[in-house]
Amino acid sequence: MTQLASADKKKRANTAKPTAMKSLEVEGHEATVGKVFTDNPKMTMRNVNVYYDDKQAIHDVSIDIAKNEVIAMIGPSGCGKSTFLRSLNRMNDTVDICRVEGDILMDGENLYAPKLDVVELRARVGMVFQKPNPFPKSIYENVAYGPKIHGLADTRVDLDEIVENSLRKASLWEEVKERLHQGGTGLSGGQQQRLCIARAIAVSPEVILMDEPCSALDPIATAKIEELIEELSENFTIAIVTHSMQQAARVSHRTAYFHLGKLIEVNPTEQVFTMPEHPLTEAYITGRFG
Amino acid sequence: MTESINHLEKIKNSLSRRNRAEKRFRWYGRTAIFIGLAAVLVLFTDIVNKGHGAFRITYIELEVTYDQDRIGVNNLTDPKELTRGNWEALSKTALRTEFPNVSGRSDKRRLNNLLSSGAGFDLKDRLVANPHLLGRKESIWILADDDIDTYFKSWLAGDAYAARLSSKQVQWIEGLHQQDKIRLQFNSNLFTRGDSREPEQAGIRGAVMGSLLTLILTLLLSFPIGVSAAIYLEEFAPRNRWTDFIEVNINNLAAVPSIIFGLLGLAIFINFFHVPRSVPIVGGLVLTLMTLPTIIITSRAAIKSVPPSIREAALGMGASKYQTVLHHVLPLSLPGMLTGAIIGMAQALGESAPLLMIGMVAFIVDIPGGFSDPATVLPVQIFLWADSPERAFIEKTSAAIMILLSFLIVMNTVAVWLRKRLERRW
């Protein structure tokens, strides 16, 4: 059944390529099982295809991300989960050979509409990367960078306040308040990653994308970040890509399972890890491949 | 069991072979470095050996009477009258007083040849600077002729070279030496004067100024153009056949023999745009063309070495491409770019071939004061002196090479220091 469906889809991808203006009618979503859609979506993705040159990395993915939820994306290496995540704030634009088709909407607004400014989009959809990548500047400058370029703070006092609040929200304030003007690269790996989170939330985004934020960290630092994600979900919508199933189980409300560029299953996290609907999901979480 | 012992045996055998290979390889490396260092050492000792003498030059002490009648000048502030003055009479009379027994036309000429042909003008400058000396007497050290200088230096070294002197001149010098009236002094002329046909009066000031002016123009033009081109190609340009074509041609340009750039400058700047020849403007333009590829290539390498994660971080924060480049990529790659620029400048400083084509090889006595004054540059000055027949130019040539080398060493040291100093770790 799945094989048939995928063959069918491949054919469609080669013959009729969906355009951005296409209606939101969901096609072929029978391939994805589970609770794919929600009633109060923050972001809506329909029939998303991503290509690197001729190679298709994402096949016809449709999914909703609800307001203030934490959605985890899991799957074996090379399944396209990072690619998919990066198309949500158009970071894929920086890759010349990358092409995104389909509809990606936030609050009903098409993110790939020609008149949408990608700078504004990225201020609304922040991103935390796999490897902590603070700027080689001071801690303060790192957090203040976003507000500065977007002109969010009118005075120095405002800026100080934003920096302090962001660092507090990223539970880093107590550790760095004495050395705000020292280099951000001098912090430990876990602190650097929390600094990157503070930097991302300093511009008050609506959605935060996290691309394996803990893969370069030790277990203690990981635990801190996970705790932080839980706190942040009160104010932000979070999409997190992770290699670790335990992490997905700990932090997320819903889990999406990707396999070879296809979205196989989306369900509440508890259900995915206890009673997966799809045999591929079951195979993955029971460790038959990964 | 025996098999595993055999196995170990084999590993042990191969191990000693591998160790030997490694040792051999290390020795190859050491030999290569030794050969390189030895070559540099031989070169430097040879140059220093030949050139160190040029930093000192022979002076003769004479009693000079600033006799107004003999000079024929009344007003020391009138330049016209000054040029008409018979200044040589001052030095000639001084010699005659020192050696009153010399008679006969040819002997007198030989006597006058003890001093530099510019000695009279040196005395004029002294008198103009100190007008109260007019009508008085003073004992003063006067620059000797280059043949005397060559002889005196070689004689002091114990290997007298008297081929260009008459036996009488040798006697006079010995007489002066017995009275301590001839000695070596620091050769300030070397640093304060322009070129001259007379070795004892020739200096490198003109060439240094010419090099400086040319390099300033080269830096002002090639650094901004090169860095802009590198940033555009690396950060903004689409990857397509056109940019590939441009990249290949920039690399080609870096490999073009420098004299071709000289021809290009001659054809375009001088013949087409009618920029005057022999001036730092046209030299700077030609050297800009020559250093551009170097600066573009090193700048691109510096930009490439900025980790992509920094760009992603900035773009992910909603910085525009321009802000990403200006706030993050440029500051991080600047040390590399500066290093590249300094190395490019060092290359331009040592370049002579293209400048020969655009007339910067002319014999220029005046020290250039601006970008449009005729000038020559250090390497060309070396070429000119090396080509001169006077024996005293041998040590001058080597001294000029030493000065050029020390500029280059300073520039390269600054480049290394800058890289170490500004380099960031992440």
Which domains, and CATH codes, for chain A? Answer: 2-6+31-285 (3.40.50.300)
What per-residue confidence (pLDDT) applies to B400?
95
The interface predicted TM-score of the complex, written ipTM, equals: 0.82
Long-range contacts at B314-317 (CB < 8 A, ≥ 24 apart): B314/A135, B314/A145, B315/A91, B315/A94, B315/A122, B316/A89, B316/A91, B316/A122, B316/A126, B316/A127, B316/A129, B316/A200, B317/A122, B317/A123, B317/A126, B317/A145, B317/A146, B317/A149, B317/A199, B317/A200, B317/A203
**Residue A74 near residue A284, CB atoms below 8 Å:** yes
pLDDT at position A21 is: 33
- Which is nearest to B348 in space by CA: B232, B250, B223, B231? B223
Q: Give residue-wise pLDDT tens across range B3-18.
A: 677 888 888 888 988 9
Contacts of B363 (CB under 8 A, 6+ apart): B195, B197, B384
pLDDT at A175: 92
pLDDT per position as a tens digit, B30-61: 999 999 999 999 999 999 999 999 999 999 99
For helices B167-178 and B146-156, the axis angle rounded to 10 degrees is 60
pTM of the model: 0.81
CA B186 to chain centroid: 20
- pLDDT tier for residue A217 given thresholds of 50, 70 and 90: confident
Ranges in chain B annotated CATH 1.10.3720.10: 205-422
Helix (H, G, I), strand (E, B) or coil at B78: coil
Rounded CA gap, B354 and B121, in Å? 36
Q: Is the pLDDT of residue B164 over 90?
A: no
Average pLDDT over residues B88-112: 90
CATH 1.10.3720.10 assigned to B205-422: yes
Mean pLDDT score of chain B: 91
Which residues of A have a CB under 8 Å from any CB of B?
89, 91, 94, 96, 119-123, 126-127, 129, 131, 133-136, 145-146, 149-150, 185, 196, 199-200, 203
- Chain B positions touching A216 (Cβ under 8 A) are none
Task: Flag whether pLDDT at A5 surpasses 50.
Answer: no
3-state secondary structure string across B319-352: CCHHHHHHHHHHHHHHHHHHHHHHHHHHHHHCCC
pLDDT tens digits, B328-374: 999 999 988 998 999 999 999 999 999 999 988 888 899 999 999 99
Which residue of chain B comes nearest to A136, CA vs CA?
Answer: B426
Task: Give the CA-trace dihedral at B418, B421, B423, B426, to 10 degrees.
Answer: 180
Q: List the Cα angle B117/B122/B126 in 5-degree steps.
A: 160
* pLDDT for position A12: 41
Phi, psi at residue B189, to the nearest 5°?
-55, -35
**B387, B304 in Cβ contact below 8 A?**
no
Report CB contact under 8 Å: B316, A91: yes
In this prediction, residue B240 has a pLDDT band, given cuts at 50, 70 and 90, of: confident
Query: Is B318 in contact with A199 (Cβ distance < 8 A)?
Result: no
pLDDT of residue A30: 52
Assess whether pLDDT exceeds 60 at residue A24. Answer: no
Say whether pLDDT at A2 is over 80.
no
A125-128 sheet: strands from edge to edge: A33-34, A262-268, A254-259, A70-74, A237-241, A207-211, A125-128
Whether A135 and B328 lie within 8 Å, measured CB to CB: yes
Which amino acid would we find at residue B144?
A
Residue written as token pair 């976003």:
A146
Q: Is the dihedral of CA B169, B173, B176, B178 positive or negative?
A: negative
The DSSP H or E segment spanning B423 is: none
A85 residue type, one letter: L
Q: pLDDT digits over B244-271, tens only?
A: 999 999 999 999 999 999 999 999 999 9
Residue A111: CB atoms within 10 A of its CB come to: 21
Closest to A100 (Cα-Cα) out of A48, A54, A62: A48
pLDDT at position B248: 93
Residues B133, B365: Cα–Cα separation, whole Å = 29
Task: State mean pLDDT over A142-164.
Answer: 93
Q: Which two tokens stand for residue B324?
A: 């990403």
User: Which B residues, 64 through 123, put their C-beta within 8 Å of a C-beta on chain A?
Assistant: none
* Residues in chain B within 8 Å Cβ distance of A119: 318-320
Share of chain A above pLDDT 70, in %: 89
- Average pLDDT on A191-202 reads 94
Select from A127, A152, A212 the residue whose CB has the most chain B CBs within 10 Å, as the one to mutate to test that interface.
A127
Q: What is the pLDDT of residue B330?
A: 93
**Mind telling me how many Å the CA of A94 is from chain B's nearest CA?**
9
More confident residue, B76 or B121: B121
Give the residue on B whose Cα is nearest the Cα of A189.
B426
The full DSSP string for A58-71 is EEEEEEEEETT-EE
Contact B424/A at CB under 8 A: yes
Q: In this predicted model, what pLDDT tens digit does every residue of A107-122 receive, in sequence order?
A: 989 999 888 899 999 9
